[in-house]
Amino acid sequence: MPTLALHNPATGALLAELPADDADSIATKARAARAAQPAWAARPLAERIAIVQRFRDAVVAEREALARTLTQEVGKPIAQSRNELNGLLPRLDFFLSQAATTLAEEPVFDEGGMRERIAHGPLGLVANISAWNYPWFVSCNVVVPALLAGNAVLYKPSEFATLTGQHLVRLLHAAGVPADVLALVVGGGAAGAALLEQPIDGLFFTGSVATGKRIAAALAGRLVKLQLELGGKDPSYVRADADPKAAAESLADGAMYNSGQSCCSVERIYVQEKVHDAFVEHFLATVDGFKVGDPMDEATYIGAIARAPQLDVLDAQVADAQAKGATLLRGGQRLPGNAYAPTVFTNVNHTMALMREESFGPVIGIQKVKGDDEAVALMNDTRYGLTAGVYTKDEAAAKALLARVSAGSVYWNCCDRVSPRLPWSGVGDSGIGLTLSTHGLLAFTRPKAWHLRQP
């Protein structure tokens, strides 16, 4: 039987050694989930809603302990772990408030004895392979609507956030989800690959582009619904008429929050030349106020980089930018506790990996631009398309500009923001499919067309 060891990335301490799944145990869980799914789907929706409501109450009751576990296993500053758990509640509330209307059968035609209806039945057995950076958010974006819609779920948390994954499953089971309807799969890439071998009806993945493409290739030839929520290289543009201080404070937070390890972190900033210097000055002042340190310290803003190999990626991007003539204004080096110093470059361009490849760390390049057309061209010069933003006083100009930018979410005077009411999706290498919004409930259903003629 394989095992999975979990370490605190900030201290290196061993947190737990868990029994992990192998291909046989995963196949057993898949069979049991498949067998349990029809009875789960047959229960009145109101019962499934009541179960998720009890789960929400349990998250509130255990919030502090859950936040501490999250900080220990991924190195997220404790204040930000609490924010994640608090931010989970409106997501759950949104699904709870929308499930009954969104999943209800829709009458669409009734004339001359002929009726037509759309029913939203479950896909059946779905698998969720998840990431570690916001494990409560990304797992609940899938597991909760999938269960509400009547699916059985095989859930594999990231091997770096499995203690959180265990809590999520424990609380859902305690709230009333039958054990076989929601199964925890423990392990890393091999367990994920074994999960793909099961006779699943849908695969919902959150993670890197490289793994997402591997999964798409593994499922090619099988008619399994596939959703991939992948990485980004999200740009933001500060126009000449923006308030440079307000934009700098917002974007520094968007770039560095969660130590830069968000799929929608701001990863590239373009600033119109008139406000460039003022913007950079305010940006540095904001970054200088970010406390780097022990993730358990209440005042810490930048914690540990969760995966040690990512430090090599950051070092390589810094070295490449310096070799190509960028100006390093802050940081550029590792710090104790597996941390990385908040790093700010100016005089960057698109020959640099810093401006092209996902950094996933507290590292940012700020590029001077002449105006809107150059900014739009640079924002679109990417294989990704998760989010993009613009800071300006002029709403009409912002809308015209953002209409030309290829991204799943666009922001006017804000960034790094996810709303339960809006679909979360990507363009290009940022993925296929979506979560959240009412569309993110319907993503776990199969529409069935009913043609009913009165005899």
In the set 40, 55, 132, 204, which binds ligand NAD (CB under 6 A)? 132
Torsion on CA atoms 254, 260, 263, 265, rounded to nearest 10: 20
- Longest distance between any two alpha carbons in the chain, whole Å: 79
Q: Which of 21, 73, 84, 159 binds ligand NAD (CB under 6 A)?
A: 159
Give the binding range for ligand NAD (CB under 6 A) out of 132-140, 168-176, 178-186, 409-417.
132-140
* Helix 395-403 with 372-379: angle, nearest 10 deg: 40
Closest CB to ligand NAD among 202 and 244? 202
**Nearest approach, Cβ of 420 to ligand NAD (angstroms)?**
13
Q: Give the C-alpha separation, 132 to 191, whole Å.
A: 16
Using alpha carbons, select from 116, 39, 35 the residue that is nearest to residue 447: 116
Q: Which of 118, 193, 328, 432 binds ligand NAD (CB under 6 A)?
A: 193
Q: 306: how many CB neighbours lie within 10 A of its CB?
A: 22
Q: Which residues from 208-227 bind ligand NAD, rule CB under 6 A?
A: 208, 211, 214-215
- Measured from the CB atom, the residue of 294 and 358 that comes closer to ligand NAD is 358
Query: What would the DSSP string read from start to end of 373-416?
Result: HHHHHHHTSSS--SEEEEE-S-HHHHHHHHHTS--SEEEES--S
Least Å distance, CB 73 to ligand NAD, is 12
Using CB under 6 A, which residues numbered 239 to 268 contact ligand NAD? 263
C-alpha–C-alpha distance, residues 285 and 290, integer Å: 9
Q: Running DSSP on this structure, what letter comes out for residue 292? A: B
Of 388, 393, 346, which is closest to residue 243 (Cα–Cα)?
Answer: 393
Which span (4-12, 83-91, 156-164, 291-299) binds ligand NAD, by CB under 6 A? Answer: 156-164
Size of the site for ligand NAD (CB under 6 A): 32
Q: Which residue is nearest to ligand NAD (CB)?
A: 192
268: its two tokens = 């590239």
Q: CB neighbours (10 Å) of residue 44?
A: 8
Residue with tokens 């100009």: 397
**Which of 73, 84, 159, 229 is an active site residue?**
229
Pairing state between β 114-122 and 409-412: unpaired
Say how far residue 64 (Cα) sits from the centre of its chain.
22
Q: Does residue 130 touch ligand NAD according to CB under 6 A? A: yes
What is the closest distance, in whole angstroms, from the C-beta atom of residue 69 to ligand NAD in the complex? 17
CB of 438 to ligand NAD, least distance (A): 18
Please tell me whether residue 433 binds ligand NAD under the rule CB under 6 A. Answer: no
Nearer to ligand NAD, 146 or 215 (CB): 215
- Rounded Cα distance, 246 and 442, in Å: 38
Place of tokens 């008139």: 274
| Residues 295, 259 contacting (CB under 8 angstroms) | no
Q: Is 143 one of the binding residues for ligand NAD (CB under 6 A)?
A: no
CB of 57 to ligand NAD, least distance (A): 26
Among 33, 70, 125, 138, binds ligand NAD (CB under 6 A): 138
Residues 339-378 that bind ligand NAD (CB under 6 A): 358, 360
DSSP 306: S
229 is catalytic: yes
263 is catalytic: yes
Q: Could you say whether residue 202 binds ligand NAD (CB under 6 A)? A: no
Instruction: Work out whether 188 is an interface residue with ligand NAD (CB under 6 A).
Output: yes
Contacts for 109 with CB less than 8 Å, ≥ 6 apart: 115, 116
CB closer to ligand NAD, 178 vs 423? 423
- Per CB under 6 A, contacts with ligand NAD among 91-110 are none
Residues facing residue 203 across a β-bridge: 127, 226
Q: In a 3-state reduction of DSSP, which class is residue 380? A: coil
d(CA 253, CA 267): 11
Nearer to ligand NAD by Cβ, of 178 and 188: the residue is: 188
Candidate residues 133, 198, 259, 272; the one interacting with ligand NAD per rule CB under 6 A: 133
Nearer to ligand NAD, 159 or 294 (CB): 159
Q: Give the span between the Cα atoms of 33 and 102, in whole angstroms.
A: 25
**b/e per residue, 251-266, with b = 16+ CB within 10 A?**
bbbbbbbbbbbbbbbb
Min. distance of Cβ 345 from ligand NAD in angstroms? 20
Catalytic-role residue among 73, 140, 263, 415: 263
8 Å CB contact between 66 and 170 = no
- Region near ligand NAD per CB under 6 A, out of 206-214, 236-244, 247-255, 322-330: 206-214
By annotation, the residues acting in catalysis are 229, 263
Interface ranges with ligand NAD (CB under 6 A): 129-134, 138, 156, 158-159, 188-189, 192-193, 196, 206-208, 211, 214-215, 229-232, 263, 358, 360, 386, 424, 426, 431
